[in-house]
Amino acid sequence: MTEQAIRFGPLGRSYQLICGVPAYASASDLTAALWRHGWVPTDSARIALIIDAPWGNALQQLSSNPTLTTVVVTSSPCPEYWEDLWVLQPAVLLVGSYTIAEMASALKRAAAGDSFRQTPRHESLLTSSERKLLQLTAMGLENKRIARELHITEGTVKNGLGRIYIKLGLLNRTQLALYYWGLWPIAECMP
């Protein structure tokens, strides 16, 4: 095998593997399987495969790497979370379980400049401003700080949270955070 094939893989394609779970990020099964599809992990690649583990990691990675071409794979059950990921403009967003071949294909399409998402069919009940309020609340921010961040009054934050609780069938901030981070039974929240 030539030095170039070793550096760039059988088909000359490289990617960064980003995951919040170190054991998964270094999983030889995943990297070996992607290698067989022509993809080699390297820290200097301009394309990243973000495995959203734990849930929330992809939000952080997309925010801190806005110029990187990314393919995000998440199994989060929260449709508002999917929308928040998509707003951060990954090239590809895959929600659910995907095979190595499907991830390799997504990397190839992202490298070619394609942009798409594959999510379960579900429409969010929330407006984009309510989604932002949901996200900031789920991140643990208090009403006063949310009001400052969104340039609205604390009363508007409180009223907005009330609408979100009603729309999602939730009772409090704890349930709201659990819902957003995929830890609250989603089916119980749908009308």
Instruction: Report pLDDT digits (tens) over 20-68.
Output: 888 776 667 888 999 999 999 999 999 999 999 999 999 999 999 889 9
Sequence length of the chain is 191
The DSSP output letter for 185 is -
Nearest to 117 by CA among 152, 70, 180: 70
For residues 113-139, average pLDDT: 94
Tokens of 107: 């990397």
pLDDT of residue 12: 59
* Strand, coil or helix: 19: strand
Place of tokens 């830890």: 183
Taking the C-alpha atoms of residue 128 and residue 183, their distance in angstroms, rounded to an integer, is 22
Q: In what order do the strands lie in the sheet with 69-74?
A: 39-41, 13-19, 47-51, 69-74, 92-95, 116-118
Strand 116-118 with 92-95, pairing: parallel
pLDDT at position 6: 40
Between 143-150 and 128-138, two packed helices, what is the crossing angle to 10 degrees?
140
For CATH 1.10.10.10, list the domain ranges present in the chain. 128-189
CATH 3.40.50.2300 in the chain is located at 3-118
Identify the residue whose tokens are 């643990």. Answer: 140
Domain 128-189 sits in CATH at 1.10.10.10
Q: How confident is the model at residue 186 (pLDDT cuts 50, 70, 90)?
A: low
Q: What whole-number distance in Å separates Cα of residue 68 and Cα of residue 136? A: 24
For range 87-105, the mean pLDDT: 96
Confidence at 7, pLDDT banded by 50, 70, 90: very low
Report the C-alpha gap between 157 and 114 in whole angstroms. Answer: 37
Tokens of 156: 């508007």
User: Rounded CA gap, 134 and 158, in Å?
Assistant: 11
Kindly state the tokens that stand for 97: 């379980």
The pLDDT of residue 15 is above 90: yes
Task: Please check the confidence at residue 3 and state whether its pLDDT lies above 60.
Answer: no
Cβ contact 110:134 at 8 Å: no
Of 140, 129, 37, whose CA–CA distance to 14 is shortest?
Answer: 37
- Whose CA is closest to 167, among 79, 38, 39? 79
| CATH code reported for the domain at 3-118 | 3.40.50.2300
